[in-house]
Structure 1
Amino acid sequence: MTVKTKRRKVVLDTNVILFDAFALLKFGDADIHIPFAVIEEVDKFKRDQGENGRNARQFSRFVDVLRNKGSLAQGVQIDNHETFVYITTDMGISGLGTELDQAKADNRILSTALALQKQHPRSKVELISKDINLRIKADVYGIYATDYDNSDVNQEDLYEGYQEFDVAPSKIDQFYQDKKVTIDAKLYGNQYVILKDSSNPNHSAIGRYSLKEKAIIPLINPPDSIWGITARNVEQSFALDALMNDECMMVSLVGKAGTGKTLLAIAAGLFKTLDEGRYQRLLVSRPIFPMGRDIGYLPGDIEQKLNPWMQPIFDNVEFLMGADKKAAGRTQELINQGMLNIEPLTYIRGRSIPKQYLIVDEAQNLTPHEIKTIITRAGSGTKIVLTGDVYQIDNPYVDSANSGLTHAVERFKGQEIAAHVTLTKGERSALAELAANIL
């Protein structure tokens, strides 16, 4: 088969495949070279029970289908794509420094990219890797290297969920009188709006854009307090509106530590479940990182093993129950009655969760595929709340741009049954707010 020498040449690192099993479909008109070192590394993950294992197995099955269509050494075209896939023997070239120890898989992958660049000097050779250090080494050797990003999300442009507008005084007066108003601006469904009098900043109003009304409408007026919690700033007012709105079945709250994401979500969940009875139970969960790993062989039953992971959630629930020694007992009573469940996400795959208020805490550590797995578990009448801080990510395969939480915010933007709020003002304490800003 004749190969066009000027085509874009892409060398994939193992971590790209473990992040996205179908990354091969994302490069358009290109020749994708997969070094032997990558195949060997993928093979080590195929028995892994977590997300890495699933992606490794899916990738291997995908490449096996290509193998049946022709020689992978010569290149096989993916159906309905301009992409050709090559499995490339590790290419070594003479004259490399001793620092490129060929016993290391990363160095063999880099050597393959260098050899391709030497073979095809008129083509652009790209090394795609989520490994920052490998990209640094590639730069030293003159190879163009970049991170793999399968999303269109620019972190600086991430949807905040609300917007501020300067309007004529009459618009604000109309809003208070008619309980709705329209403005000349493009707004997304359930986007929150701050209207400020252009001549008097103290004359203002806040509301939410309704797709049904095609207008900005007032926020839901909650009781004086929800389990002792009231909004301390305008962003928290927006968050409570989304959490209390029964028409919003998917809510995402993003913000730094201490902004009240989890506490507001749990307070609203307790109110909706226990006070209003709209949901059968409140289910609060968080990933035992990484998602899919078992909870281990430590002594004790499942509850004792989970306590260290779930303690932050218990802390919030007990705070809402009352700052006394009886709070833990009241929390346990709700658990015994089946009204409150606190559990890991490890075994959520395959479940159907109807008529529950599901809070997924620390959602920034999840991949887009894991977020999809969770949200598609929602049965009839279930509300899902995702909370997290995209700048506090512990998953080495995820960053702020391709986190599942970021992905969900962008994909659900403007949907009639979804709402999003970015919280920026810390309310935990003056010390916590200062630490979040200066450390």
Structure 2
Amino acid sequence: MAARKRATRKSEAEPVSKLATPGRATTPDPLSGPKMFVLDTNVILHDAACIFAFKDNDVVLPITVLEELDRFKKGDSDINFQARRFLRTLDEITGDVMSGEGAELGEGLGRIRVVLNLESVRTRTALLSDSADHRILNTALALRELKPETQVILVTKDTNLRLKAKAFGLVSQDYFTDKLINIDDVYTGRRLLNDVPNSVLEKFYDGDGTVAAAEIAEAENPVSNENFILRNGTRSVLATYHADEQTFVRINKAACFGIRPRNAEQSFALQSLTDDRVQLITLVGRAGSGKTLLSLAAALERASAGACRQVLLARPIVPLSNRDLGFLPGDVQAKIEPYMQPLFDNLSVIKRENAGSVDMINDMLKDDRLEITPLAYIRGRSLQQTYFIVDEAQNLTPHEVKTIITRAGQGTKIVLTGDIQQIDHPYLDSLSNGLTYVINRMKGQKLFAHITLERGVRSELSELASSLL
């Protein structure tokens, strides 16, 4: 989503009573007492259902927020959908009650109301420019002065606005409802277990390559499709856990469509990518870890085996510095080509590694059975018998990812790849993006698998740059 443009139209402000002493507003304990959450527009554009996330506390919408939502309600992007959805919800909840004490949000929840622009005593001499950000901040500060017994909290995904709020002594926070607290809590999808008895390792090579979970005491609380390196000294076995059968199944380090795994992580990834039991896969890794290449190779392998009718490879377009594509020269195809080129580069690698696949790939491209396209171009399509890869998924919101996954029809597999440490979206981070959200919510589901690819495989220079620069 492009960086938000703020309105600069002058608006009338209602002065707050001077009974509140500038700079001396009472600050209640943020962990106790009544709270009032003032929402910024970007929170609503991130999650249209955000007003229901504040329990029994009151929610306040500055009138400026409604003005901004009015500008965002037209269009086909996710933020346009969120704006329309929120406005419909607000209209249903409030009816004829918008000001005063506001309307009830529901059983066990607080109230919501819209307030006109208010002017804080403290900001009169601060020489703040008249922008939407500052009007929202001004309203929150004024409410704190009007209601010193209430903890007023400004909720915004705009880091700079949070800093400005804190400069005025106002409590401000990000929107945390769909956000993990700690990056270390992100599920990796793999574990290393040392000192597994040799007798257990040998069983993986007997019979069908499966071992009952009860025989591997070292594997505590495994979850469905979790991967393990089982090691004893220099011996090791790669295995994945099947929760339904409560067994560990050995993974073969086999090549896929000419692409051979270079480490255990890539072997885990290829196993999940070609496993018809798994319908949703997330691959996280830094540049050069092979996540997109492995996904495309697996998709082509499944297509050649008749497991799917079509392969879609898409990525969201987040222009450099979040500027609109309109500033780029050329027609639409010329504008998007630089963003799609990395995907074509991966296809070229597969052609080079598997010369026998060139004719098949070219035929699939010609017949539109293999499409490489911007994610926005497939909005609204129903995906049947499709191997659908979404690259750079860390630049998607939780709602966008949910929309993609719920498009999956019968026989469709969805793969989300990305680097949660490399995000171009202005209001997402490593903990709040859609990719992290899916990993956290889907962990342990039998249709889901995840692998974090730590090691780069492009070159020694690429690995060094990823770790040091």
TM-score strictly above 0.5: yes
23-32 vs 87-96, which deviates more?
A: 87-96
331-340 vs 420-429, which deviates more?
A: 331-340
Kindly indicate whether residue 297 of structure 2 is the aligned counterpart of residue 270 of structure 1.
Answer: no
- Out of 55, 61, 64, the position equivalent to 1:37 is 64
Aligned to 1:192: 227
- Cα offset, 1:423, TM superposition: 0.3
Kindly indicate whether residue 163 of structure 2 is the aligned counterpart of residue 131 of structure 1.
Answer: no
In the alignment, is the contact (CA less than 8 A) between 1:171 and 1:181 conserved in 2? no
- Superposition pairs for residues 3-402 of structure 1, below 5 Å? 6-68=33-95, 70-96=97-123, 98-101=125-128, 103-151=130-178, 153=180, 154-169=182-197, 170-177=199-206, 179-182=210-213, 183-184=216-217, 185-197=220-232, 201-219=233-251, 221=252, 223=254, 225-274=255-304, 276-289=305-318, 304-322=334-352, 331-402=361-432
- Cα offset, 1:307, TM superposition: 2.6
State the aligned residue count.
427
- Cα offset, 1:211, TM superposition: 1.3
In the alignment, is the contact (CA less than 8 A) between 2:312 and 2:372 conserved in 1? yes
TM-score of the aligned structures, taking structure 2 as reference length:
0.84
TM-score of the aligned structures, taking structure 1 as reference length:
0.90
- Cα offset, 1:40, TM superposition: 1.6
In the alignment, is the contact (CA less than 8 A) between 1:321 and 1:330 conserved in 2? no
- Cα offset, 1:72, TM superposition: 2.9
CA 1:307 to 1:332, structure 2 compared with 1: closer, same or farther past 3 Å? farther
CA 1:431 to 1:190, structure 2 compared with 1: closer, same or farther past 3 Å? same
Q: Distance in 2 between matches of 1:354 and 1:297?
A: 36
In the alignment, is the contact (CA less than 8 A) between 1:251 and 1:385 conserved in 2? yes
Same amino acid, percent of matched pairs: 42
- Cα offset, 1:102, TM superposition: 5.3
Structure 1 counterpart SS, 2:257:
coil
User: Partner amino acid for 2:250?
Assistant: P
CA 1:404 to 1:419, structure 2 compared with 1: closer, same or farther past 3 Å? same
Q: Deviations over 1:285-338 (max 9, x none)?
A: 111238xx9986988776555432221111110111117999998754431133
Structure 2 counterpart SS, 1:282:
strand
User: Partner amino acid for 1:282?
Assistant: V
In the alignment, is the contact (CA less than 8 A) between 1:280 and 1:356 conserved in 2? yes
CA 1:86 to 1:433, structure 2 compared with 1: closer, same or farther past 3 Å? same
User: Partner amino acid for 2:224?
Assistant: G
383-392 vs 326-335, which deviates more?
A: 326-335
CA 1:77 to 1:48, structure 2 compared with 1: closer, same or farther past 3 Å? same
Q: Deviations over 1:40-62 (max 9, x none)?
A: 22222122331111111222222
Q: Distance in 1 between matches of 2:308 and 2:123?
A: 64
CA 1:302 to 1:33, structure 2 compared with 1: closer, same or farther past 3 Å? closer
- Cα offset, 1:130, TM superposition: 0.5
User: Partner amino acid for 2:271?
Assistant: D
RMSD after superposition:
2.7
Q: Distance in 2 between matches of 1:340 and 1:37?
A: 45
Aligned to 1:438: 468
- 5+ residue gaps in structure 2? 1-31
- Cα offset, 1:120, TM superposition: 2.3
Q: Deviations over 1:142-185 (max 9, x none)?
A: 11111112225232210000112234414333444463142341
Q: Deviations over 1:8-39 (max 9, x none)?
A: 11111111111111110000011111112222
CA 1:115 to 1:249, structure 2 compared with 1: closer, same or farther past 3 Å? same
